[in-house]
Amino acid sequence: MEIQGKKAVVFGGASGMAKASAELLKQRGAEIAIVDLPTSAGAEVAKSLGGSFFECNVLDAEETEAAVHGAIESLGGVHISVNTTGGGIAKRTLTKEGPHPLEDFRRVVDLNLISAFNISRLVADAMSRNEPEDEERGVIINTASIAAFEGQIGQVAYAAAKSGIAAMTFVMARDLGSLGIRAVTIAPSLFATGLTAGIPSDFEQQLTKDAAFPKRMGRAEEYGKLVVAIAENPMLNGGTIRLDAGQRFAPK
């Protein structure tokens, strides 16, 4: 896909990996709409990119649908969807206090897996109406985690949700292939965004000691570079790409 002139909706785009993705897509000539929490810096980020901002809590399906439709309407369509929304908790399946609360598990799945599918189905519907370019109408990029494959102790809910995103990617690509719409997932390791952005260097070295190279946390722009590569390369489809410097999470 030629990014110049394309329309991109970036979910979670007020900060971190999604913000870096929005900035790089803008540099390549895309028009940008940002969707993020009302408490985020989404409005300022969108303004800096000459785009629009739409408030949304992805746990609210109806609010998400309204934000997706609003963002697409503001752009006049969508060719690229990037979604990094999500989060997790640290709770074991069974603790001294008792079993993992079911509602906490359900919330993590809703926040990660259900919201990713909701966004994907909505943007796919809009992409299906695009005029094809070299038979392609759009690309949907979701975010998992390497915890999907070797989750740490206490990540049972997060690992289940992120592995669900990875699992649905290939099927989604098959579902949408006849329409010329691709689906790809990125599975990052630890990145210097959000809560991990300001941790001491000695703690960072401990967290990343099992990486092959480089032995550090990822940088937001490195995620963004992969988003650009996925958008530009039509043969990238149906897979989950590890972005992890060769790291495998230890049990804890």
pLDDT tens for each residue of 106-158 = 999 999 999 999 999 999 999 999 999 999 999 999 999 999 999 999 999 99
Q: What is the pLDDT of residue 194?
A: 77
Q: Is residue 236 in a domain? A: yes
Q: How many residues does the chain have?
A: 252
What residues contact residue 144 under an 8 Å CB cut-off, 6+ apart?
162, 163, 165, 166, 185, 186, 187, 240
The whole-chain average pLDDT of the chain stands at: 97
**Has residue 82 been placed in a domain?**
yes
For the stretch 192-203, pLDDT in tens is: 987 687 778 887
Nearest to 59 by CA among 30, 85, 92: 85
For residue 233, the domain's CATH number is: 3.40.50.720
pTM: 0.97
Task: Indicate whether 209 belongs to any domain.
Answer: no
d(CA 35, CA 203): 32
Spatial separation of the C-alpha atoms in residues 158 and 5, rounded to whole Å: 36
Give the pLDDT score at 198.
Answer: 73
Q: Say if 111 falls within a structural domain.
A: yes
Q: Quote the percentage of the chain above a pLDDT of 90.
A: 94
User: What pLDDT does residue 205 have?
Assistant: 87
- Here the tokens at position 44 are 């300022």
pLDDT top residue among 252 and 194: 252
Residues tagged active-site: 158
Name the residue among 161, 198, 231, 242 with its Cα closest to residue 21.
Answer: 231
Residue 238 structure tokens: 């149906």
Q: Say yes or no to pLDDT of 245 above 90.
A: yes
Where is average pLDDT lowest: 77-81, 202-206, 239-243, 248-252?
202-206
Domain that holds residue 101: 7-191+219-243
**pLDDT tens per residue across span 147-176:** 999 999 999 999 999 999 999 999 999 999
Distance of alpha carbon 45 from alpha carbon 95, whole angstroms: 42
135 domain residue, yes or no = yes
Q: How many domains does the chain have?
A: 1
pLDDT at 202: 83
Write out pLDDT tens, residues 23-55: 999 999 999 999 999 999 999 999 999 999 999
Q: Is 201 inside any structural domain? A: no
Domain-embedded: residue 202: no
Q: Which residues contact 228 (CB under 8 A, 6 or more apart)?
A: 3, 21, 24, 25, 28
For residue 204, pLDDT beyond 90: no
Identify whether 212 is part of a domain: no
Burial (0-12, 13-18, 19+ Cβ within 10 Å), 131: exposed
